[in-house]
Amino acid sequence: MSNDFLPGKLKELRKSHNYTQDYVASSIGTVRQTYSHYETGKRIPGAHIIYKLAGLYNISVDDLLSLTLDVDRNENYDAPTKTFNGIKLENYLNFINEPTNKKKYSYLTSEEKELIYGFSLLSEDDKYEIMILVNAKLQRKFTKK
């Protein structure tokens, strides 16, 4: 992948979907200035941001990074049908960016936030089973000598 093409690709995708930089930044969990730097090439997005951008535009990460998607600016694009991963990402972002959760989980890593979100979706029985597994792992860890 050439770093020279990704900024233009991001801008082209955003414009073809009639999204603002604020909207894209909010959707991927960053601020507009950071996203703007992705479009100008001042910063290169990390893997987790690439994944979120691909989900936002409903394209594969390969299409985003390989720059295989041709966008015709003269063609009117309808919003894509949401995929399972797109819906999952949207629900996750809504959960994490909900004002009380955003403040509560701001100190956690992305992995910890994803774990809490996934755990919140489980049934009480599934949560109980996971807690048994976690406690067994912790017991094993602290009793090893």
Give the residue numbers spanning the domain of 133.
98-145
CB 65 within 8 A of CB 7: no
Q: Which residue is associated with the tokens 């507009």?
A: 32
Q: Is the pLDDT of residue 2 over 60?
A: no
Residues 103-133: tens digit of each pLDDT? 888 888 888 888 898 999 999 999 999 999 9
Q: Are 7 and 43 part of one and the same domain?
A: yes
If asked whether residues 48 and 102 sit together in one domain, one would say no
Does 138 reside within a domain? yes
Q: Is residue 86 part of a domain?
A: no
Structure tokens at 63: 């299409």
Q: For residues 135 and 127, what is the distance between their CA atoms, to the nearest angstrom?
A: 12
pLDDT at 60: 85
pLDDT score for 131: 93
What's the confidence (pLDDT) of residue 1? Answer: 40
**One-letter amino acid of 72:** D
| Residue pLDDT, tens place only, 52-107 | 999 999 888 888 886 555 656 676 666 667 777 778 888 888 888 888 888 888 88
Query: Does 22 lie in the same domain as 75?
Result: yes
Number of domains in the chain: 2
Q: Are residues 9 and 69 in the same domain?
A: yes
Q: How far apart are CA 143 and CA 7, in angstroms?
A: 51
The pLDDT of residue 107? 86
87 within some domain: no
Above 60 in pLDDT, residue 15?
yes
Judgement on whether residues 22 and 69 belong to the same structural domain of the protein: yes
Decide: helix, strand or coil at residue 83: coil
